[in-house]
Chains A and B, each alone.
Chain A
């Protein structure tokens, strides 16, 4: 995967259309037929409206912003946007090589109001709690 890493297990499931039953019950996955965008998949919810109450107001704001920016974009355009120069992906490829783990801390910028120590504490706890 030249622009990886990707979650390998999930990617294989997409390619082989081999999803767990729970997933098949709720989603349809279609390969995009557009010549320009042929490595992409479209995921559709089956007759269901998502329950957005599971999201926080901050998460909903981010989701709205992302949909506004990318609503007319092809998947390849979205891929492009996340692989620009100096993005965490670009920095990782330059320092560790293609397909290597991208450190979350590369997303930190001068606007971050938490210290690295505080973010590490949250990460560690979150990991423990998600088992």
Chain B
């Protein structure tokens, strides 16, 4: 099993900004084993305008909307912001006191998220990492 498994969600307290916004949840979309391996991650954002979207893939808007409990700790509708790929090095996740690994999304959900990505807006480097983790 890889040190970091595709679909693992994590909480980053450092994503907190000076305006005192909440810490951020992310989902990692590839496996990683070596300290310098990159993990492509997408940030979660509470969805206040659920009237504008449907649960699941909203491809044109590059949002994947989760309903409460799709991931056990989610209590509100939440969008995964597929338009804003971020990256972490595995060592950051393993060694940081401010990042906490949480549960892994289930396989079906994970594949739906992956299929919702508009690859034209994902760096070529990241696309390859994601592709290699879904073989």
Given the complex, which residues of A lie within 8 Å of B121, measured CB to CB? 56-58
Instruction: Determine if A105 is an interface residue (Cβ-Cβ < 8 Å).
Output: no
Instruction: Determine if B72 is an interface residue (Cβ-Cβ < 8 Å).
Output: no
Instruction: Determine if A52 is an interface residue (Cβ-Cβ < 8 Å).
Output: yes
Provide 8 A-B residue pairs closer than 8 Å at the C-beta atoms, listed in order of the A residue: A52-B124, A55-B123, A57-B124, A125-B45, A125-B81, A125-B84, A128-B17, A129-B24
Chain B binding surface SS class: mixed
Q: In the complex, A129→B123 CA distance in Å?
A: 17
Flag if A57 contacts B43 (CB, 8 Å): no
Flag if B24 contacts A128 (CB, 8 Å): yes
Instruction: Determine if A21 is an interface residue (Cβ-Cβ < 8 Å).
Output: no
Given the complex, which residues of A lie within 8 Å of B60, measured CB to CB? 113
Chain A binding surface SS class: helix
Count, A-B residue pairs, CB within 8 A: 48
Among B43, B81, B124, point to the contact of A56 (Cβ < 8 A).
Answer: B124
Given the complex, which residues of A lie within 8 Å of B131, measured CB to CB? none
The smallest C-beta distance from B104 to any residue of chain A, in angstroms, reads 22
- Residues of A with Cβ closer than 8 Å to B? 51-58, 60, 113-114, 117-118, 121-122, 125-129, 131
Instruction: Determine if B110 is an interface residue (Cβ-Cβ < 8 Å).
Output: no
Given the complex, which residues of B lie within 8 Å of A125, measured CB to CB? 43, 45, 81, 84
If A54-B125, A55-B123, A125-B81 touch, whether A117 touches B86 (CB-CB below 8 Å) is no
Flag if A57 contacts B45 (CB, 8 Å): no
Flag if A131 contacts B45 (CB, 8 Å): no
Given the complex, which residues of B lie within 8 Å of A121, measured CB to CB? 45
